[in-house]
Amino acid sequence: MISASKTTEKFALTTPLYYVNDLPHIGSAYTTIAADILARFARLQGKSVMFVTGTDEHGQKIQRTAESKGRSPQAYCNEIAAGFVALWEKLDIQYDSFIRTTSTKHEAIVKEFFQRVWDQGDIYKSRQQGWYCIACEEFKEERELLDGHRCPIHTNKQAEWRDEENYFFRLSRYQSQLEELYQQHPDFIQPESRRNEVLNFVSQGLQDFSISRVNLDWGFPIPVDPKQTIYVWFDALVGYLTALLNPDDEPNLENVLSQWLPINLHLIGKDILRFHAVYWPAMLMSARLPISHKVFGHGFLTKDGQKMGKSLGNTLDPIALVERYGADAVRYYFFKEIEFGKDGDFNETRFINVLNADLANDLGNLLNRTLNMVKKYCNGNVPDCSSDDIPADHPLKAIGLTLGEKVAHNYEALAFNQACDAILSLVRAGNKFIDEQAPWTLYKQGQQQQVEQVLYTVLESIRLAAYLLSPIIPNVSSKIYQQLGFSINFNEKSQIVVTPFNSHAKWGLLSVNEKLGTPKPVFQRLELLQAI
């Protein structure tokens, strides 16, 4: 039995803390599902997991949005944060910690963190002049802006001119330490294209950045000067630390340090790379805290080939999507169809075709027809056959024997689409094999032993596929497992802890002792309704 002991390998990962100016969009769902898949896979492997997500609730963007709706910022944040929690539940997201940056424990951690950086002499007051994009909550270089001082990311928003006295963080002091970090840990920033982007940015010379704002109430006061508030990004990044506290811990950095640091992985979209790959490690260096191991910047989603945006009126509502098609369908499409580091597209026809082909036909039908044959030809029991007696070059066993290792490698490299392809290749080989072997004919010819072996090898291949796909499609996988006689629900963390990876990720586990369940479709075919 694998249990969480002191020697158990730890895996701490985060999604960005999402702005609560609006309900979650498909981009936030995309990162959060990716993190959930990785967390689930690490749990399958017996690791002790801390999966952090949450909401970024301070700053001008939130304050202005709340004001425009005639709401107090806190009431507005409460409502939207609840919307995130509700969507994560619908999508079967199993986070371990949900951090809201307006929580009082977070205020204590931010204060202590600020003090550490202050004590290093890394904070000073100076004049800040420049163009500020409120939607990005970031100063922009004039040369980055489009005509009319519009932001290149939020093209319908104009950056605002600011000229104020702010507190600055001495980022420039960390230039060489950061360069050393990127050199000594080449996989700190992934994928490679993002790493090059960061190296290029850093090589131009790092500038100190302001970490306070004046004339803004919605934020924590600067401890040494309460007329100023802490810049929302400084506050939010520290949220990753607050999230690591146990619920009953005193909120201090010593407790943060005691268990989960360093964080193994920050999953983010490519637009917030600089904050995570440059500012954040420098802040941690200044505060004398362990640097995270890896930052992975994924691509952007488009819809029907076009950039998604409110101004274009083509946003994709994740709530509508999951309500219409269910969590597994949404989870599968984005990770089977899109290479994680690259941009990818949502198209509803493609969505339906992929799900029907892979989950309803290739996987679901194969299970259903095989179980029905088992009922007819083997009295509904697991076919009487030992995997040891099947030669290693058997077409399904040959794939199955190395699949677990291959797929583990794919998940660890965040190559979700490759994991799906590898698993589906076993399923497709199962379909081909059963058609070629025609157990119905073998049965008529009285070749019972052959029939049992064909059906066993197909069922075992489906089992392995279901297990390895369970981080992506936990509901379909649970149904398959239950029909194969296991009482495992992949949504129950407590059951995962006692399910040894070494035997389940290996071809040949199914045994005659298992009592097969009733064949029922595991994935209903989808129909194209009016496009979302």
> Under a CB-based contact definition with an 8 Å cutoff, are residues 62 and 75 in contact?
no
Burial class of 444 by CB neighbour count within 10 A (0 to 12, 13 to 18, 19+): exposed
378 is an annotated ligand-binding site residue: no
420 is an annotated ligand-binding site residue: no
**Quick one: 236 or 458, whose CB is closer to ligand MSP?**
236
Residue 409 region, left (φ>0) first, then alpha (ψ -120 to 50), else beta? alpha
> Segment near ligand MSP (CB under 6 A), from 5-13, 15-23, 168-176, 406-414?
15-23
Distance between CA atoms of 350 and 305, rounded to whole angstroms? 12
**Quick one: 102 or 356, whose CB is closer to ligand MSP?**
102
**Among 34, 268, 354, 419, which residue interacts with ligand MSP (rule: CB under 6 A)?**
268
Contacts with 148 (C-beta within 8 Å, 6 or more apart), sequence order: 158
**Among 11, 30, 76, 296, which residue interacts with ligand MSP (rule: CB under 6 A)?**
30
Shortest distance in whole angstroms from residue 343 CB to ligand MSP? 8
Q: Does 27 help bind ligand MSP (rule: CB under 6 A)? A: yes
Quote the Cα angle for 340-341-342, to 5°.
95
**Quick one: 31 or 478, whose CB is closer to ligand MSP?**
31
Q: Does 56 help bind ligand MSP (rule: CB under 6 A)? A: yes
Count of residues engaged in binding ligand MSP, rule: CB under 6 A? 19
Distance between CA atoms of 507 and 515, rounded to whole angstroms? 18
106 is an annotated ligand-binding site residue: no
Contacts with 30 (C-beta within 8 Å, 6 or more apart), sequence order: 298, 301, 334
133 is an annotated ligand-binding site residue: yes
**Among 2, 12, 28, 62, which residue interacts with ligand MSP (rule: CB under 6 A)?**
28
From residue 307 to residue 346, what is the string marking binding to ligand MSP with x (rule CB under 6 A)? -x--------------------------------------
Q: Does 17 help bind ligand MSP (rule: CB under 6 A)? A: yes
Distance between CA atoms of 60 and 49, rounded to whole angstroms? 34
Handedness of CA 378, 381, 382, 388 (dihedral sign): negative
Shortest distance in whole angstroms from residue 161 CB to ligand MSP? 23
Q: Does 52 help bind ligand MSP (rule: CB under 6 A)? A: no
Q: Does 236 help bind ligand MSP (rule: CB under 6 A)? A: yes
Q: Does 19 help bind ligand MSP (rule: CB under 6 A)? A: yes
Strand ordering across the sheet containing 10-19:
97-100, 48-56, 10-19, 265-269, 294-298, 189-190
**Among 214, 272, 319, 413, which residue interacts with ligand MSP (rule: CB under 6 A)?**
272
Q: How many CB atoms lie within 10 A of CB 406?
A: 14
**Among 16, 318, 326, 430, which residue interacts with ligand MSP (rule: CB under 6 A)?**
16
**Among 2, 31, 92, 516, which residue interacts with ligand MSP (rule: CB under 6 A)?**
31
Shortest distance in whole angstroms from residue 360 CB to ligand MSP? 27
> Under a CB-based contact definition with an 8 Å cutoff, are residues 94 and 494 in contact?
no
> Segment near ligand MSP (CB under 6 A), from 236-244, 449-457, 463-471, 495-503?
236-244
**Quick one: 416 or 507, whose CB is closer to ligand MSP?**
416
Q: How many CB atoms lie within 10 A of CB 487?
A: 9
Q: Token match 């904050």: residue? A: 275
**Quick one: 27 or 400, whose CB is closer to ligand MSP?**
27
> Under a CB-based contact definition with an 8 Å cutoff, are residues 387 and 397 in contact?
yes
> Under a CB-based contact definition with an 8 Å cutoff, are residues 465 and 427 in contact?
yes
Q: Which residues pair with 98 in a beta bridge?
A: 53
Q: Which residues are annotated as a binding site?
A: 133, 136, 151, 154
Q: Which residues are annotated as a binding site for Zn(2+)?
A: 133, 136, 151, 154
Residues in the site for ligand MSP, rule: CB under 6 A?
Answer: 16-19, 27-28, 30-31, 56, 236-237, 239, 268-269, 271-272, 300-301, 308
